[in-house]
């Protein structure tokens, strides 16, 4: 894998990323992988897609949002707006051709926000267990009231020993980016893959997203025994097959 690099934004944020330009950066899509909440570019799906891109001469960009992984900052300050701007800054600075956005979980929500700013450059979107609007359907009224009042809430973390926090700043910003209850003005090809055994994001969220998208080319792939992570070899193979559709 290529060396870790850093990009400094206008306000001093320093974001870690990896980029391989591929053999046809002007014409072939650059896959931009957007990890999930509290995740980073070292995840199995991100690294597998990057390795395949390098092997096939395709452009690929991985990043850690500020406050995550190798990027500077404090997670407590992280927001969808801020992370969207970081992705856009990297794309504008390093990617010269069309863009294929691949968003995992929360990254599938962020994918929509980034896509709205890159319409003219989009080759397509791939959502992996996408979780748009999770601050609405993922929390109880009591939790939402606490967040609206400025509190931090903590939930059990099935993937690690420490509980998962949601901070009031993230919540307040997310309320400005709800997308599922109205038409989403994106017309590029979209593929959504979701496990029906997902205990974190109901697979029906992908169906709601399919309905909201205005694209005439949206397909939903459901993995009968797939969990939220979709990181088994068979799951990653299915994701790679979706990516291959965009390269002919």
Q: Which helix (H) or strand (E) holds 8?
A: strand 5-8
Q: Is 198 a catalytic residue?
A: yes
DSSP bridge partners of 122: 99
- In the sheet where 99-104 sits, what is the strand order? 5-8, 14-20, 59-63, 30-34, 99-104, 122-128, 190-195, 218-223
Residue-by-residue DSSP string for 23-75? S-TTTSPEEEEE--TT--TTSHHHHHHHHHHHHHT-EEEEE--TTSTTS-S-G
- Kindly state the tokens that stand for 72: 């500077």
C-alpha–C-alpha distance, residues 188 and 177, integer Å: 20
Q: Is 96 a catalytic residue?
A: no
- The catalytically annotated residue of 167, 177, 194, 228 is 228
- The catalytically annotated residue of 105, 133, 167, 194 is 105
DSSP bridge partners of 14: 8
Residue 237's CB is within 10 A of a number of other CB atoms, namely 10
Residue with tokens 């509190």: 151
CB-facing half-sphere around the CA of 158: CA atoms within 13 A: 6
- The catalytically annotated residue of 85, 133, 198, 235 is 198
Q: Is 23 a catalytic residue?
A: no
The angle formed by the CA atoms of residues 63, 65 and 66, to the nearest 5 degrees, is 130
Which amino acids are annotated catalytic? 105, 198, 228
């Amino acid at each position: 894998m290529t060396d870790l690099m850093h990009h400094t934004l206008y306000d001093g944020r320093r974001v870690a990323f990896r980029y391989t330009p591929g053999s046809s950066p002007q014409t072939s899509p650059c896959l931009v992988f957007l990890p999930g909440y509290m995740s980073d570019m070292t995840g199995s799906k991100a690294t597998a897609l990057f390795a395949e891109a390098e092997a096939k001469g395709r452009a690929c960009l991985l990043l850690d949002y500020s406050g995550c992984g190798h990027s500077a900052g404090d997670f407590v300050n992280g927001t969808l707006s801020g992370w969207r701007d970081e992705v856009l800054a990297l794309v504008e600075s390093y990617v010269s051709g069309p863009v294929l956005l691949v968003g995992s979980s929360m990254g599938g929500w962020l994918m929509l926000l980034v896509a709205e700013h890159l319409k003219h450059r989009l080759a397509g979107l791939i959502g992996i267990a996408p979780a748009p609007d999770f601050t609405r359907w993922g929390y109880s009224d009591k939790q939402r009231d606490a967040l609206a009042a400025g509190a931090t809430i903590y939930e059990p973390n099935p993937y690690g020993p420490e509980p998962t926090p949601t901070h009031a700043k993230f919540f307040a910003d997310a309320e400005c980016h709800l997308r599922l209850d109205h038409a989403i003005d994106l017309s590029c090809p979209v593929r959504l893959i979701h496990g029906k055994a997902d205990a974190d994001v109901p697979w029906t969220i992908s169906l709601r997203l399919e309905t909201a998208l205005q694209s005439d080319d949206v397909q939903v792939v459901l993995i009968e025994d797939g969990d939220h992570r979709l990181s088994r070899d068979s799951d990653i193979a299915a994701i790679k097959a979706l990516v291959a559709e965009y390269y002919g």
